[in-house]
Amino acid sequence: MAGVCFFNTAKVWGGGEKWHLEASTYLHAKGHSVFVVAHTDSVLLMKLREAGIPATGIKISNLSFINPLKRIEVLRFFKKHQFKTIVMNLSSDVKIAGRMAKKAGIARVIYRRGSAIPIKNTFLNRYLFKQVLTDILANSEATKHTVLQNNGSLFPEDKIRVIPNGIDTSRVPEVTHHEDKNPLILLTLGRLEYQKNQQFLIPLAAELKKRNLAFKMLIGGEGSLRPKLEDAIQQHGLTKEVVLSGFVEKPLAYIAQASIFLLPSHWEGFGYVLAEAALCKKPIVAFKVSSNPELVLDGETGYLVNMDDLTAFADKVEELAKNRNLRHQMGERGYQHVYTHFDKDKQLQKIEEYLIHG
């Protein structure tokens, strides 16, 4: 009998997949019985097999829950292994794996929610959250809030547990300060997609240039927004100031070169990159959205401004750019905040207690 089944059928690699890999690896190393179900063609399954974690592949789509053959396949799998707990990552997984887990008699059916997007108040969701799920594990207080935002009675609030993502605080890179160098390095890192909103940074760069601020803006990451960003850089005459760095293999080493870290995301479940920036002792300027206030203490470790407020964002960047001591002070406070509240080992211990002994 296996104790905990992690069920994550995302094909692409992201924060949720990283969490499932780390949590299952940690519990496996502690001697707990774990098994992971991942998409047959996913990066997660490849990494699980490399790590020697018991795992199997399956193909699940958003409509698999209406396929009777797929439901039977999942149900038989659960009955065979007799798990005590299942932890799911995607709404599509909840639709089929959650229902079949309940039918198979699995005691704890947990939805690990990592996105701070309000859950739609649909008939299907009301059924799943009221009749199928037993627990919800959220990665931030902001994510917890969005679960009940559209329907306060969708799920018992006391059954929603918040355990933030953890970061390896032992991996602090050598910090590079650019206070005596010109230009300063303004840097961001993330997928070039709508959520991350890197398009906001181009008019920001134009505004900073108008203010005669000497800077180089580095935008790390790849995605579908690259062509639009390239066009915007050309149109604003910023080819000397703004650089698209492409995919970043070593995030901490990349962030370490920054003077100021910028995050213009529309939303974040848990802004892991903010924790990485703080670990690198970088002051941060971001929007006051989602979980950002949990990671960035406004006025202490960086600044938070209203969504898409270009003038306010530019004001805060300029203030930090002109104040070397303030940059250092905020960077140090940010590091202490992350070390105290988001240390990876401490968070994994909380996950162990929650899944094994909870």
CA distances from 140 to 10, 89, 148, 304 (A): 21, 15, 14, 17
Residue 237 three-state SS:
coil
Residues in the chain: 358
Give the tokens for residue 141: 């207080």
Residue ranges of domains in the chain: 4-166+343-357, 184-341
User: How far apart are the C-alpha atoms of 34 and 179, rounded to whole Å?
Assistant: 48
Question: pLDDT tens digits, residue range 113-156?
Answer: 998 889 999 999 999 999 999 999 999 999 999 999 999 999 99
Give the burial class of 49: count Cβ atoms within 10 A of its Cβ; 0-12 exposed, 13-18 middle, 19 or more buried.
middle
DSSP 221: B
164 preceded by a cis bond (ω within 30 of 0): no
Mean pLDDT, the chain, integer: 94
**Residue 171 in this model has a pLDDT that exceeds 80:** no
Q: Which residues pair with 262 in a beta bridge?
A: 285
CATH of 4-166+343-357 among 3.40.50.2000, 3.40.630.10, 3.40.50.300, 2.40.240.20:
3.40.50.2000
User: How far apart are the C-alpha atoms of 48 and 161, rounded to whole Å?
Assistant: 26
Q: Are strands 215-220 and 242-246 parallel, antiparallel or unpaired?
A: parallel
How confident is the model at residue 174, as a pLDDT?
A: 64
Above pLDDT 90, what percent of the chain? Answer: 90
Which of 336, 358, 233 has its CA nearest to residue 328? 336
pLDDT-derived band at 175 (thresholds 50, 70, 90) equals low
**Residue 358 in this model has a pLDDT that exceeds 90:** no
Which of 187, 213, 209 has its CA nearest to residue 198? 187
Reported in sequence order, the residue ranges of the chain that DSSP labels E, i.e. its strands, are 4-8, 34-39, 55-58, 85-88, 108-113, 135-138, 160-162, 184-189, 215-220, 242-246, 260-263, 284-287, 302-305
- Is the CB of residue 108 less than 8 Å from the CB of residue 131? no
How confident is the model at residue 357, as a pLDDT?
A: 87
User: How far apart are the C-alpha atoms of 128 and 95, rounded to whole Å?
Assistant: 7
Which of 262, 282, 289 has its CA nearest to residue 201? 262
**Intrachain domains 4-166+343-357 and 184-341 with the same fold:** yes
CA 278 to chain centre: 15
The phi, psi pair for 267, rounded to 5°, reads: -160, 160
Calculate mean pLDDT across residues 15-36. Answer: 95
User: How far apart are the C-alpha atoms of 115 and 270, rounded to whole Å?
Assistant: 8
How confident is the model at residue 178, as a pLDDT?
A: 47
Give the tokens for residue 225: 């927004």
Q: How many CB atoms lie within 10 A of CB 242?
A: 24
Q: Which amino acid is at 299?
A: G
Q: How many CB atoms lie within 10 A of CB 124?
A: 12
How confident is the model at residue 287, as a pLDDT?
A: 98
Question: pLDDT tens digits, residue range 249-296?
Answer: 999 999 999 999 999 999 998 889 999 999 999 999 999 999 999 999
Look at the domain 184-341 and name its fold.
Answer: Rossmann fold (3.40.50)
Residue 111 three-state SS:
strand
- Is the CB of residue 208 less than 8 Å from the CB of residue 182? no
CA 205 to chain centre: 26
